[in-house]
């Protein structure tokens, strides 16, 4: 029997950590010989160049004039069914419960085959949408009917169980980074563009949504910059951008803050920094903090959601209560002024990212889940992971 699988992947392809995780996972599965079909409304932004074993099927939405709202969900369900049938897919792995899991379940019913549905919960599908009573029953249905459900932290599993009254099995599959991409980059030529040699660099990368508390980032930086000569880089775009610009101006920090917009080579940008700030209100995992960890940049942030599962306070970064910008600033100052301790934290970060959250381990975890739902054994040859990760 051919031990390679045919896997359909659906995600939000143009933004967010869930799209990054889904795309990177697809690339890794394809490298291991599985056939991967991305079924999305646009080309996933992290897909990049042509990859062997990867196919892209675009979901086109009907704009017929009777529709007040173009029915993306129905188009997606139809496309999932069509591709699953045409390509004889073994399973659909959908990232984010709404609408992807619901569409996959509809596709499964439409083709009436043995197609399996694996749903990965990423965070706001539970912590924000799961609280919306107009759709919480639908999310519960999608979770209960999927053949397997994974979540990106223990905290998200707990939150899913408590807030949606779910008692089915949920597999834990943490976010991961590809160690061939995320490592401390040589930034000797670039750093001078952003800071003077005696200045430290703080960085925040996000979609600037209220949940990220970007105002806290500015407050932390305002306090730090009184003690440590430093600069702040913002990478990303989002609804709070104009408020951020006003606050930076109000606090007289304009000369010290750079808004870099969206950036593709995240590992390169992160490597410029000395500390990552992540003071979020909610964060099921905090992929950006893991990306920073893998580049040897410690994070100071809130102890919200799954962040403490990634960052061990005092060892690989520092955490404080959400909103406690005073404490977070103290932690940043401590890190930036104690060189020996900082170097130890950097080494701890590199070790933890490579040994606990590395691509090889996570790919096997997801493969185990796929073979399990298909009632098959994971082939021995697929268990082999890079010795560095073990």
Q: Which H or E run includes 200?
A: strand 200-206
Q: Tell the smallest beta-carbon distance from residue 135 to ligand GMT (Å).
A: 16
Nearer to ligand GMT, 15 or 106 (CB): 15
User: Token match 């010989």: residue?
Assistant: 33
Q: Tell the smallest beta-carbon distance from residue 283 to ligand GMT (Å).
A: 4
Q: Tell the smallest beta-carbon distance from residue 308 to ligand GMT (Å).
A: 13
Helical segments of the chain, H only: 16-31, 72-87, 102-111, 124-127, 136-145, 154-164, 214-227, 241-250, 266-271, 287-294, 307-310, 325-337, 339-356, 359-373, 380-383
Applying CB under 6 A, among 75, 207, 312, 365 the residue interacting with ligand GMT is 207
* 55 CB burial (10 A radius; 0-12, 13-18, 19+): middle
Q: Tell the smallest beta-carbon distance from residue 18 to ligand GMT (Å).
A: 3
For the CA atoms of 56, 286, 338, 389, the dihedral, rounded to the nearest 10 degrees, stands at -60
Nearer to ligand GMT, 82 or 356 (CB): 356
Q: Tell the smallest beta-carbon distance from residue 87 to ligand GMT (Å).
A: 26
Applying CB under 6 A, among 287, 300, 333, 335 the residue interacting with ligand GMT is 287
Nearer to ligand GMT, 10 or 175 (CB): 175
Contact 153, 122 (CB under 8 A): no
Nearer to ligand GMT, 39 or 173 (CB): 173
Piece of the chain touching ligand GMT by CB under 6 A; list 84-92, 103-111, 217-225, 285-293: 285-293
d(CA 77, CA 106): 6
Q: Report if residue 122 touches ligand GMT, rule: CB under 6 A.
A: yes
Nearer to ligand GMT, 12 or 78 (CB): 12
Applying CB under 6 A, among 29, 98, 105, 211 the residue interacting with ligand GMT is 211
Contact 260, 128 (CB under 8 A): no
Q: Report if residue 124 touches ligand GMT, rule: CB under 6 A.
A: yes
Count each helix (H run) and each strand (E run) in the chain, helices first. Answer: 15, 13
Q: Tell the smallest beta-carbon distance from residue 307 to ligand GMT (Å).
A: 8
Applying CB under 6 A, among 204, 282, 331, 382 the residue interacting with ligand GMT is 282
Q: Report if residue 236 touches ligand GMT, rule: CB under 6 A.
A: no
Neighbours of 337 (CB within 10 A): 12
Select from 283, 279, 306 the least CA-distant residue to 213. 279
Q: Tell which positions 9-28 bind ligand GMT, by CB under 6 A.
A: 16-19, 21
d(CA 287, CA 296): 14
Q: Report if residue 247 touches ligand GMT, rule: CB under 6 A.
A: no
Q: Report if residue 40 touches ligand GMT, rule: CB under 6 A.
A: no
3-state secondary structure at position 58 = strand
Nearer to ligand GMT, 31 or 281 (CB): 281
Q: Tell the smallest beta-carbon distance from residue 215 to ligand GMT (Å).
A: 16
Q: Report if residue 175 touches ligand GMT, rule: CB under 6 A.
A: yes
Angle CA(352)–CA(153)–CA(72) in degrees, nearest 5? 125
Nearer to ligand GMT, 16 or 44 (CB): 16
Applying CB under 6 A, among 123, 236, 301, 308 the residue interacting with ligand GMT is 123
Piece of the chain touching ligand GMT by CB under 6 A; list 33-41, 278-286, 339-347, 381-389: 278-286
* 1 CB burial (10 A radius; 0-12, 13-18, 19+): exposed
Nearer to ligand GMT, 45 or 194 (CB): 45
d(CA 217, CA 235): 12
Give the Å distances, CA to CA, from 173 to 133, 234, 291, 333, 372: 27, 29, 16, 33, 15
Query: For ligand GMT, how many residues bind (rule: CB under 6 A)?
Result: 19
Nearer to ligand GMT, 21 or 232 (CB): 21
* 75 CB burial (10 A radius; 0-12, 13-18, 19+): middle
What does the binding site for ligand GMT look like in residue numbers (CB under 6 A)? 16-19, 21, 122-124, 152, 175, 207, 209, 211, 282-287
């Amino acid at each position: 029997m051919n031990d390679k699988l045919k896997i359909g992947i659906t995600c939000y392809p143009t933004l967010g950590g869930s799209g990054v995780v889904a795309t990177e996972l697809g690339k890794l599965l394809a490298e291991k010989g599985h056939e991967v079909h991305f079924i999305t409304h646009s080309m996933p932004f992290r897909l990049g160049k042509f990859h062997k074993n990867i196919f892209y099927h675009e979901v086109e939405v009907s704009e017929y004039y009777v529709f007040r709202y173009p029915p993306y969900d129905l188009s997606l369900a139809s496309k999932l069914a069509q591709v699953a049938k045409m390509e004889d897919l073994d399973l659909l792995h959908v990232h984010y419960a709404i609408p992807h899991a619901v569409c996959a379940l509809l596709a499964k019913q439409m083709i009436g085959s043995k197609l399996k549905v694996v749903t990965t919960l990423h965070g706001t599908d539970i912590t924000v949408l799961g609280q919306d009573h107009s759709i919480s029953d639908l999310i519960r249905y999608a979770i209960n009917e999927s053949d397997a459900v994974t979540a990106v932290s223990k905290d998200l599993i707990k939150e899913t169980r408590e807030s949606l009254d779910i008692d089915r099995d949920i597999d834990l599959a943490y976010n991961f980074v590809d160690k061939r991409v995320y490592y401390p980059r040589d930034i000797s030529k670039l750093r001078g563009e952003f800071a003077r040699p005696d200045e430290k660099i703080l960085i925040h990368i996000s979609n600037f949504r209220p949940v990220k508390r970007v105002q806290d980032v500015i407050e932390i930086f305002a306090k730090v910059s009184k003690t440590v000569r430093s600069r702040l880089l913002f990478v990303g775009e989002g609804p709070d951008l104009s408020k951020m610009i006003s606050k930076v101006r109000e606090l007289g920090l304009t000369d010290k803050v750079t808004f870099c917009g969206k950036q593709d080579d995240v590992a390169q940008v992160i490597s410029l920094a000395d500390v990552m700030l992540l003071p979020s209100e909610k964060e099921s995992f905090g992929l950006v903090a893991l990306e920073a960890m893998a580049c040897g940049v410690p994070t100071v942030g809130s102890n919200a959601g799954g962040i403490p599962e990634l960052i061990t306070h005092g060892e690989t970064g520092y955490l404080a209560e959400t909103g406690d910008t005073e404490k977070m600033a103290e932690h940043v100052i401590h890190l930036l002024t104690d060189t020996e301790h900082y170097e130890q934290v950097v080494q701890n970060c590199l070790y933890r990212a490579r040994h606990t959250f590395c691509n090889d381990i996570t790919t096997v975890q997801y493969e185990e889940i796929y073979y399990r739902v298909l009632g098959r054994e994971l082939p021995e040859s697929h268990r082999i992971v890079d010795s560095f990760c073990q």
